[in-house]
Structure 1
């Protein structure tokens, strides 16, 4: 407690402490020289979660189409949607010669508004796209699209709230450069000035927004709308959510 009211919890992301901010800038330079794609890191997790023998899957927020390409290896038909025209065009261009993959500029709400798509998908994936949406609406739309026994696979950013999240956030800060060293042992030699400050990386070219919900809030929402969903804190400042639609009944 301070004279002006309750003391705000320490936050690595917003602190004004000069020593911490200087250390953060140094870590940013290290990370820029050994970059790794935090979203692509979870592609294997998504692929492993797709039900065996999947025929049709949907990737929400497909970005440049990297995950849609990978999903084609485990499903006969892959659809990728992204509301950003630049991203949808990039993915469609990159995957135009790959049979069984279709990319469209569309929101999840628009996609789910077509009743012919309800119950049509064996899996719906979202990597770093849930926090761009209303999660309650997104859960309902994904449920409508999934077949009984289909699977929702989410990798999301969250807002750190509370001691457990602060410790997890600090752990990610410390492990991020170590993972970068393993994934990118030869440092990038020539960086533009923006990269030296930790900006301008490939991921940053994609639309960015801060998460409005915490891990605890995501768990609470999932408990209410996706009974049995598993939410886990992961590396790379991400959490995962995995939910299987009830078999033999209407998941909606």
Structure 2
């Protein structure tokens, strides 16, 4: 289906950019849509994904435009990658943190520059009554959004990029994510979103 839940939240994630940001890291970048949006804003972007297939696709779709440098894509596992300490003004993880142990956020926190921001658009399973209530609320909105996007794309004769990235169902409930984040990312904010997502924002103010 043409409606992409992660793409829907791109603008929300971009609003978390610290003023004057120059460097960014996109974790689990897939075919690079969000990384390219960051690069278009003039940031120097590193983008990492464990899938060789999607990295090849990301490089093929990323060409210099408007004087902006395309992201630097590399295949790699963020849990073992050597990230430069205190380097990035902005680190993003779009629907990727549930593919790795949540404590991986400690390495991402260490890679943040002073004043930098870590943003996680995370996935979580339905576990509580509140989860199921939000899930039920999302179903009609999701269906309507898919129909609208599909109709618009038919009018434009547009085709969406295929996304062959490996996917895995989330397993950690949102309540547990909140508990772990309170320890590993003190001061982080977490808000529940529609479409089975949450937004975690951690600012390196220490």
Deviation at 1:73, TM superposition (A): 2.7
- Tell me the residue number matched to 2:10: 43
Deviation at 1:186, TM superposition (A): 4.9
1:57-206 correspondence runs (5 A): 57-97=24-64, 99-111=69-81, 113-114=82-83, 117-136=84-103, 138-186=104-152, 202-203=162-163, 205-206=164-165
CA distance in 2, matches of 1:188, 1:230: 39
The two structures, once aligned, show a CA RMSD in angstroms of: 2.0
Structure number, greater radius of gyration: 1
User: Structure 2 unaligned runs (5+)?
Assistant: 156-160
TM score, norm. by length of structure 2:
0.88
CA distance in 2, matches of 1:73, 1:90: 18
User: Structure 1 unaligned runs (5+)?
Assistant: 1-31, 190-200, 248-252
TM score, norm. by length of structure 1:
0.73
Q: Report how many aligned residue pairs link the two structures.
A: 198
The residue matched to 2:56 in structure 1 has which SS? helix
CA distance in 2, matches of 1:181, 1:89: 31
- Tell me the residue number matched to 2:158: none
The residue matched to 2:199 in structure 1 has which SS? strand
CA distance in 1, matches of 2:197, 2:41: 24
More strand by share: 2
